[in-house]
Homo-oligomer: A and B are copies of this chain.
Amino acid sequence: MSKPIKLAILGPGTVGTGVINLINDNLDELKRRSGRDIIITEVGTRRQRDDIDASIVQSDDLMAIASSDNVDIVIELIGGTTFAKDLIMQAIKNGKHVVTANKALLAEHGNELFALAEAHQVHVAYEAAVAGGIPIIKVMREALAANKVEWLAGIINGTGNFIMSEMRDKGRPFADVLAEAQALGYAEADPTFDVEGIDAAHKLAILASIAFGMPLQFDKVYCEGITGITLQDVNYAEELGYRIKHLGFAVRRDSADSDSSGIELRVHPTLIPQDALLANVNGVKNAVLVNSHPLGQTLYCGDGAGAGATASAVMADVMDLVRILGSDDAEGNNSHHVPHLAFMPEQLSDSPILRAEQMTTGYYLRVHAYDNPGVLADITRILSDAGINIDAILQKPAHDLGQVPVIILTLPVVENQMNLAIEKIEQLDAVTDKVVRIRLDELD
């Protein structure tokens, strides 16, 4: 057996402890699969931990660990986008391979970090950064390597999916479920990143880059959270055969109209058909549906967070590195390995990213109007004049003061057209409130 692979763990929190436990539990499996011993030599932590084996050096000098001669692979689990970035750069410059679960850092600074890693001929592996234990990074970069990705749609924030699942299953309002998610430890004390879709947008930016072969462009992701979703809309959607999920979409649009050709990067609540597998992924589970040519649709589902699932992804990256370490050719050239963003760095394209107004989706509209004769005709005429096709209409009985909610599902339309139509609908005398709109996708 070759000499052991030496790991450093920076940040032994929930995930780091999960990695330590995984190595303890499965060391025999790891060795049988890799033919190498794998040992943790150093742990970087601000406070000394009594529950970590005495053979492992603990230190609060994380920068020193990132350049230690006693480390082959640095596992960065401290999170954040400042010190974590410095640590990873330090590790790279010292010839260490890096494994990280830090989606925010990669989404915002990945281009720079990957370029540095390529210059130093080391790898920055990041399976754990997207969808936890689901191996979607490996699948996209390697298993689908012969396909042209058309689009992907993912439940990539477990907290958001838990909230949407509970609202539907139990008829509980948003705020109530959010409080429970916080009590259960699913959501942070400040839940902004989860419920406003920012966490999902970080992950979507990464998925989109490896799907289409383009630089990371987190700043161009259209991002809408779930804070505005009401039980009323959840229930109307169900009545019409749909389910509202918070999804990230990356879509390649090759339209004859060059203004809507390009890549859509968007995160938003979406009505999808109830019988789609994705609609039946509940609780904190994550799932990613990828449509590629010639493979067609494939779905990947599992735990998107938690110590065990995330540790599995971190250690899958370690196993990949163990299997290729020492495989550089005589010139030390390892450029043949899987490129960081799935495509060769010099082959990354600058496909235009569409602005929100240029994006094409179906819509769920909820219009509140006085139950006057003619109001439905007025609304449908406005849509028809705008070239928007209606797929279904549901008019509920009048409730307070003779107002009726009218629910309309539309076929896909460019958002700009929908904006203009909604503006006109809201100007109708009989329409009493802002039009509620939620995007809709048939996933076909």
For residue A319, which residues in chain B have a CB less than 8 angstroms away from its CB? 142, 145-146
Bound CA–CA A301/B302 (angstroms): 12
Enumerate A319-370 residues with CB–CB distance to B below 8 Å: 319-320, 323-330, 334-339, 342-344, 347, 349
Verify A21–B294 contact, CB threshold 8 A: yes
CB A214 to nearest CB in B, in angstroms, measures 11
Verify B308–A302 contact, CB threshold 8 A: no
For residue A296, which residues in chain B have a CB less than 8 angstroms away from its CB? 133, 302-303, 306, 308-309
A334-B327 contact in complex given A302-B295, A309-B295, A312-B144, C-beta closer than 8 Å? yes
Enumerate A282-302 residues with CB–CB distance to B below 8 Å: 292-302
For residue A338, which residues in chain B have a CB less than 8 angstroms away from its CB? 323
* Stretch in A24-32, A66-74, A76-84, A86-94 with 4+ CB within 8 Å of B: A24-32
User: Is A318 an interface residue when CB atoms closer than 8 A count as contact?
Assistant: yes
Counted per complex, copies of this chain come to 2
User: Is A281 an interface residue when CB atoms closer than 8 A count as contact?
Assistant: yes
User: Is A420 an interface residue when CB atoms closer than 8 A count as contact?
Assistant: no
Bound CA–CA A29/B349 (angstroms): 11
User: Is A437 an interface residue when CB atoms closer than 8 A count as contact?
Assistant: no
Bound CA–CA A21/B22 (angstroms): 43
Bound CA–CA A347/B37 (angstroms): 13
User: Is A4 an interface residue when CB atoms closer than 8 A count as contact?
Assistant: no
Bound CA–CA A144/B127 (angstroms): 11
For residue A298, which residues in chain B have a CB less than 8 angstroms away from its CB? 133-135, 300-303
Verify B33–A343 contact, CB threshold 8 A: yes
Verify A308–B327 contact, CB threshold 8 A: no
Bound CA–CA A134/B142 (angstroms): 12
Verify A148–B25 contact, CB threshold 8 A: yes
For residue A26, which residues in chain B have a CB less than 8 angstroms away from its CB? 146-148, 293-294
Contacting residue for A344 out of B32, B139, B297, CB 8 A: B32
Bound CA–CA A335/B312 (angstroms): 24
Contacting residue for A302 out of B32, B297, B307, B309, CB 8 A: B297
Contacting residue for A142 out of B292, B303, B316, CB 8 A: B316
- Name A287's closest neighbour in chain B (CB-CB): B299
CB A23 to nearest CB in B, in angstroms, measures 8
User: Is A228 an interface residue when CB atoms closer than 8 A count as contact?
Assistant: no
- Name A28's closest neighbour in chain B (CB-CB): B148
Verify B327–A32 contact, CB threshold 8 A: no
3 A-B pairs with the lowest CB-CB distances in the bound complex, closest first: A294-B308, A135-B143, A146-B315
Q: What is A's interface to B at a CB cutoff of 8 Å?
A: 18, 21-22, 25-26, 29-35, 127, 133-135, 138-139, 142-148, 213, 275, 277, 280-281, 292-303, 306-309, 311-312, 315-316, 318-320, 323-330, 334-339, 342-344, 347, 349
